[in-house]
Chain A
Amino acid sequence: MTVALQPEDAIREAPGDEAPRGASWPRYLLEKGSGALVSLLMVVVLGFFVFRILPGDPAISLTRGRRVSAEQVEQLREQYGLDLPLPVQFWNYLVGLFTGDLGTSYTYNQPVVDLIASRVGPTLLLTTTAAAISIVLGLWLGQRSAWRRGSAFDRAQTSLALTFWSVPTFWLGLLLLLVFGGLLQWFPTGGMVTPGSDATGLAWAWDVARHLVLPVTTMVAVVYAQYLLVMRASLLEEMSSDYLTTARAKGLKEDDVRRRHAVPNALLPTVTLIFLTVGGLIGGAVTVEAVYSWPGLGYLTYQALGTPDLPVLQGTFVVFSSIVVLTNFAADVLYRVIDPRLKES
C-alpha cells in the first residue's frame, strides 16, 4: 500500500503556478530514466558481489561424492576463473555483461544466455497469464466491493481475498495438486507439455493450457487480493467526491456513474501498483514453478543457489532486477500519460 501512495505524493506536488517537477516531457524522462539507470548499475554491481558471500566452493560442491583428484578440482576452479583475484573476476564479469556474455553455467556446461533464453518463455507465459487474470479479477471485484461497501458481497470478497493472500503459496499449490492432480486427475501434475506427445498447433496449445490451469490458479489466488484492496480503497476515496453527485444529478444510471466517472479516477494509483507488482510476480513464480515442475527461470535460480552456480545466479539476478526496474520506469511514464493533471498545459 505504501508503494501505491507514491504517485499521490506526486499529484500533490504537481499543480502550481511554477513549472512543476517534470513539467516537460524530456526533463521528466531524463529524471526518471537516470534514476532507472542508477538502479540498473547498482543491480549489476550487487549481482556480482552478493552471491560471492554465499558459502560453498562451486568446484568442490560439483565434484562432491565423485571420484576426482585434487588436480581435477583445481583444473575446474581454473576453468571457472575462480582462481583469479576478485577484481579481475569482476572486470571479466563487467566486460562479459556489456558484450552480452553472461558466462557459462557450472552445472549445465551451457552459456547462461542460452539457459535463460530457453526458460524465460515459460516463466513469462505463466506470470503474464496469472497477472492478467488476477488484475482483471482483482479490479473487477474491488470496484464492486467498494461500490457496495459493507454489504455481504464486500465482506465475503474481501475476507476471501485476504485468506488466499495469507495462505503460503507452496501449501496452496500442493493442495490443489493433490486434489485436482492426484485425486480427481482433472489436470496434469506437472510440466508444461505432456512428455512424448508430438502434438502441434492447436492440440499443443490445448495441452499447454491444461498444464497452465493449476499453476495459474495458485498464483492468481495468492496475488489477486492486492489488486482488489487497492481498487477498493481508491474507489472509496472517490465515492464522496462532488463530481459523482453532479453525475447522478444529470440522471446517469448508477452503473454509468461508477464506470464512467468514479472508476477512471480510481484507476490512477492502481495502474502504478500493477506495474510495481508485475516485476515481483516474476520473482514470485519461483515457488509455483517448484511445485508444478514448470520449466522456467524461477526454478533455475533456486537450483543454482545450491551449487552455487555463480554465472547463473548473476544472470538471473540481473534479468529479474532489470525487469523490475524497467516496469517501474514504465509505471512512471504511463502514469504521466494517463493523468491529465500532469500533462503540459
Chain B
Amino acid sequence: MPAVVAALAAPLAAAPAALADEGTDPYLRVATSNDIDSLNPFIASLASSTNLIGLTYERLVEWSAEDNSEVPGMASEWTTSADGLTWEFTIPEGREWSDGEPITAEDAAWTYTAILENEPLQMANGGLLTNIDSAVAVDDDTLEIRLKEPQAPNPGADLPIVPAHVWSELDAPEEHANDEDVVGSGPFLISSYDEGQSVELVANETFWRGAPKVPGIRYIYYKNGDAQVQALKAGEVDFVNGLTPAQFEALEGVENIELNAGDGRRYSALALNPGAKDATGAPLGDGNPVLQDVAVRRAIAMAIDKEAIVEKVKQGYAVVGETEIPPVYPAYFGIADSERMEFDPEAANALLDEAGYALGADGIRVDKQGQPIELRIMGRSSNPAHAQTAEYIQPWLADIGIATRVDMFSDNQVNDDSTLGRYDMYFTGWGQGPDPDFQLSINLCSSFPNADGSGALSESNWCDPEFDELFAAQHTELDPERRAELVKEAWAVKYADAVNVVLSYDQSLEAYRSDRFDGFALQPAEGGIIGNQNGYWGFYEATPVAEAENVAGAEGAPTWLVVAVIAGVVVAGGAILLIVRRRRAASADDRA
C-alpha cells in the first residue's frame, strides 16, 4: 500500500531543513562520479584522485590558468645548462608546509629520488622520470636535476612534491593511505575520506599565494549524471561537470544555477587502420588492406562533414577538429590552410577515381582485387555519441562509394581490438596534457606493440620516419617558439596521412550554484573550464557569495506545498484506515 509507505515516510521528509545542513555547509561541494583509487601521490592514477592530489601538493612548475603555459609553482624560477642536461630550480625561502615546517629543495630532491630508487613508488609517476638521472639539493634553495639526455619538456612539471619530513619517516610509503590530515603545500589539504561516499579538503592557510577564500571542498560521490543534476537543483552540491548536452540544457534558466561550457582538452576522432604492424614489423590484426592506400584514407577524411557532427551530434558544444592538439593549447594548435582537408565529397570521389577504385553497378567501389569496399566502423556502446556519429558517417561514405557496417562494443572489447589492429575504423579520443611530448611519443615507429598487444603503446598503429625526425628535434629544442613549430609540423605529417581523423574538440559542460559560490577561475581564461584543470586555479579562486543571500529560498520546495502534500497523505491514509475498519466491522456483523 503505497499510501502507507508514503505516510510512514512523511515525517522523514518533514525535517530536511532542521537536520541536513544542506544550506549551511560552508564548504564548496563538488559532485564526482569517478572512483578514488588511492590518495597516495605515488600510487594514485585515476584522474579523480590526481585532481585531489594536485590541490594538496604543488609541483615545481604549474600550468597557468591564463593559457596553460609554464608558471612558477613550488619553484620560483629555473634555468637550463648549455648542454641541456642540468636543470636548476630555485625554491624560494620563507614558504611553509601546512604544518609549519619550511619547504626546501630537500623535499623535492627526496620526492624525485624516492621514485627513482624505489620501484613500488613508480606506479603513478614513474613514466615522468624515465629520463632523469638524479635530483640533488645543492642547498636549501636550489634543486639540481640531471637528465640522461637533453629534453625540452620541463622535468619540474606534473610531479607532486611531498614533504620529506613526513614521508621519509614511513616504513612503506607505497602503502600509506594518506587520507587523513595530510600535510601539503597546495591550496587545499585532504583532511578526511569516507570511502565510496565523500572526500573532505580544508583550506591551507599557509599556501604561498594566499589562503583560499572558501573554507574547504567536499567531493561527494554521485554514481550517475542525472542524480548529480538533481542534487545541484536541490542544493545538495554546488558544482557538477561532465554533463551531457541534454542535462546541460535542462539546467538552462534554472534559478541560482550558472552554466559554463568550457573548451576542453580532449579530441574525438575516427581512427583509420593504416595496416597495423607489431614490433617485429609483422602485420597485426585484420584491417581492410584498402585503407593502406593513403588516397582512400584522405578521401574518407574529406567525405566527413565535421561541422554537421558538431552541430547535430555534439549539439554545438564542440569545435571542429584539426590536429590532435585542441585550441586550449594555442602554441601547438592548428594546421596551415594549405594543408587542411576541407569537407568536399566531390574532391573525395575524384581522388578515388584517380586512385583506380571504379564504381560498381550498385554504387559501391571495388578494390584492386575486384571486391566491393565494405568497411567496419567500431565504437563504444558506453558512449551514445559514437553510434550517433556513425549514423551520419555511413551515408557520407556511401556518397563516395564506400559501404560500411557499424558495430558497438564494450569498452574492453574496443580497447583490445584497437590495440591488436582488429578494426577498419573506430572512434577514439585522448585528453591532452599541456606538454605535447608524450602524445607525440606514442606515434613513433618504436611504439608498435608486441603481437599479443603487450609492450609499447601505439596511438594509431601508424608511424612515419619524417614524424620520428620531427619528434626527436622538438624533444630537445629548448626554444619554446621553435619547438612549437616543430610540434605543429609533426602533427601536420600525421594529419596529412589521415590515420586519425579528428572530428571535434568537445566542450566540458559544467554548472554551479551561483547563490553560494562565484569567482571560479577558468583555464584558459578565455572560454575555459573550472573542473579538471591542469592545476588548482578553478576552485582556488572560488569565492563564497555573501551569507545573507544564500540562506533564503531556493532550498527545498515551498513550505506550503510540503505541508499540503503531507496533509493530503495523512487524510488519504486516515480515510483508507476508516474504510478498512468499517468493512471489518460489517463483515463481523454479518457473521453474528
Contacts and interface: CB of A to CB of B under 8 A. Distances in A.
Contacts of B5: 133, 137, 217, 220
Contacts of B1: 137, 141
Contact of B229 (A182, A191, A196): A182
A182 B233 contact: yes
A56 B45 contact: no
Contacts of A271: none
B221 A293 contact: yes
A175 to B, nearest CB: 10
A189 B412 contact: no
* Residue with the highest number of chain B CB atoms closer than 10 Å, among A64, A107, A188, A189: A189
Contact of A65 (B37, B126, B431): B431
A55 B227 contact: no
Given A133-B5, A188-B236, A177 B227 contact: yes
Contacts, number: 205
Interface in A95-145: 107-109, 118-119, 133, 137, 141
B584 interface: yes
Contact of A74 (B127, B194, B419, B454): B454
A327 to B, nearest CB: 25
Nearest to A195: B198
A72 B229 contact: no
B178 to A, nearest CB: 12
A254 interface: yes
Contact of A295 (B127, B197, B412): B197
B412 to A, nearest CB: 3
- The binding surface of chain A is classed by DSSP as helix
A133 B8 CA distance: 12
B130 interface: yes
A262 B12 CA distance: 37
A210 B18 CA distance: 13
Given A109-B43, A186-B13, A68 B127 contact: yes
A194 B27 CA distance: 13
A254 B588 contact: yes
Contacts of B229: 182
Interface string A67-83: 11110111111000000
A142 to B, nearest CB: 12
Which size class do B's interface residues fall under?
35 or more
Interface in A28-69: 54-57, 60-69
A306 B227 contact: no
B20 A196 contact: no
Given A68-B127, A293-B227, A187 B12 contact: yes
A318 interface: no
A25 interface: no
A4 interface: no
Contacts of A107: 35, 37, 46
A189 B416 contact: no
B457 interface: yes
A61 B419 CA distance: 11
A-B complex: 3 closest residue pairs judged by Cβ atoms: A56-B412, A182-B230, A186-B13
14 contacts: A55-B415, A56-B413, A72-B122, A107-B35, A177-B226, A181-B230, A182-B229, A185-B234, A186-B562, A187-B13, A210-B13, A220-B5, A221-B2, A292-B227
Given A55-B415, A64-B415, 14 more contacts: A61-B415, A65-B431, A73-B454, A181-B234, A182-B229, A182-B231, A185-B555, A188-B20, A188-B234, A192-B197, A195-B194, A206-B15, A206-B19, A293-B221
Interface of A: 54-57, 60-70, 72-77, 107-109, 118-119, 133, 137, 141, 174, 177-178, 180-197, 199, 203, 206-207, 209-210, 213, 217, 220-221, 251, 253-255, 289-293, 295, 299-300, 303, 306, 308
